[in-house]
Amino acid sequence: MKFLDQAKIYCRSGDGGDGVTAFRREKFLEFGGPDGGDGGRGGHVIFEAVENLNTLIDFRYTQHFRAPKGGNGAGANRTGAGAKDVIVKVPVGTQILDDDRETLLADLDVPGKQVVLLRGGDGGFGNAHFKTSTNRAPRRADKGWPGEERWIWLRLKLIADAGLVGLPNAGKSTFLSVVSAARPKIADYPFTTLHPQLGVVRLSTTQEFVLADIPGLIEGAHEGAGLGDRFLGHVERCAVLLHLVDGAAGDVVQAWRTVREELVSYGGGLADKPEVLVLNKADAMTPREASARRTALQKASGRKVMLISGVSGQGVPEVLQALYQEVAAARAQRKGLAEERTV
């Protein structure tokens, strides 16, 4: 299935049904009178987050969603039927943006969460609604209220606990394939990963988290260089970033700074997230090179640098434990905030 994380669609809720003008006339009935019923409500357009979807590819082929009109009223004070709602199912983590692509309308970040984006029009009043002691035979009946319509953008941000960032060929896909059951494409050329990949890392029966791998960043990605930075949105929700630096590439300090500058330029709070800094490909360096480059990177970044090899597995368990500690702390914080809201 092709991965698609952005889509533009048109939505329109249903118009309300019309009220009617009707009078009761029956043989042997002395008193008749107005009995025109009201119109029914138009259908809403509702968006729902579901767990069995992971792409917006369906919206490339179906781009218009229209709810039906409410039923018209009828004589004998019969109200028109309310129209069925249109429920649009989207993946968990989908954001709904206005046509300007900046105004956030809804964020469906929890399975089963629903939002009524467009409300259906109310039904019009029939003439029975307007009868009074002085106006016993009203001929007035209202049309149903029109529904709402708008163009919107859907943007998918994958729900992951930790995110992999780094330059192309830093070994992110290899790392993901080693620590999880994910099978991303692995090759010895840049931009092997063209779409975000997810993998579940299980440390024990009670310790697990979701790791997201995104296409590599290069200098100028925020200006559209390479694949750009559009996929960084998929790690905005992560609790921690795993920054992989290719130790065999040479200038590890410049490689780290390039990615950090792109995170700062992108914004979204990515540069402020906890970061586990890892020097990868220890198997492709001599012990002396590994020690020198690790020391230089620690001095430039001002933080601890872990040394691993995604191929041989050296240092990988320690990195996973460091990631899980950050993920567990974030989960505990979210749980505390949720409990405070319920009090």
106 carries a ligand binding annotation: no
195 carries a ligand binding annotation: yes
171 carries a ligand binding annotation: yes
295 carries a ligand binding annotation: no
21 carries a ligand binding annotation: no
173 carries a ligand binding annotation: yes
330 carries a ligand binding annotation: no
Q: Output the six-digit token pair for 77.
A: 């004070």
80 carries a ligand binding annotation: no
Q: Are 275 and 283 in contact (CB under 8 A)?
A: no
215 carries a ligand binding annotation: yes
192 carries a ligand binding annotation: yes
177 carries a ligand binding annotation: no
164 carries a ligand binding annotation: no
Strand 94-97 versus strand 64-66 pairing type: unpaired
39 carries a ligand binding annotation: no
47 carries a ligand binding annotation: no
193 carries a ligand binding annotation: yes
291 carries a ligand binding annotation: no
Amino acid at 30: E
Binding residues for Mg(2+): 173, 193
Binding residues for GTP: 166-173, 191-195, 213-216, 280-283, 309-311
Binding residues: 166-173, 191-195, 213-216, 280-283, 309-311
